[in-house]
Amino acid sequence: MPTYDFRCSECGHKFTIFVAISEKDKVKCPACGQGKVEQLFTGCSVRTGGGGGGCDLPATGGGFGGG
C-alpha cells in the first residue's frame, strides 16, 4: 500500500497514512482533527548546493517541534 506523509498546518503534527489519491483531499489531522493538512513529498533526495529548489523538507533537526 502506498503511503503518504502529511503535516498539519494547525498543530504541526506529522503523520503517515495510506489513502487513495481521490481521498487525499479528505485527510484530516489525527491529532487535532483539522483538515488543514499539507502533503509532504519524500521523493526528494537531491542535495545540490544552491538552494531555491523544490525541496521543502527539513534536512536534519528542523525547527518544528510538534509536541
Among 5, 11, 14, 28, binds Zn ion (CB under 5 A): 11
Nearest of 57, 53, 27, 52 to residue 42 by alpha carbon: 57
Sign of CA dihedral 27, 3, 23, 21: positive
Is 4 or 8 the residue whose CB approaches Zn ion more closely? Answer: 8
Is 36 or 44 the residue whose CB approaches Zn ion more closely? Answer: 36
Among 10, 14, 15, 55, binds Zn ion (CB under 5 A): 10
Burial class (CB in 10 A: 0-12, 13-18, 19+), 29: buried
- Confirm or reject binding of residue 32 to Zn ion (CB under 5 A): yes
The binding site for Zn ion (CB under 5 A) comprises 8, 10-11, 13, 29, 31-32
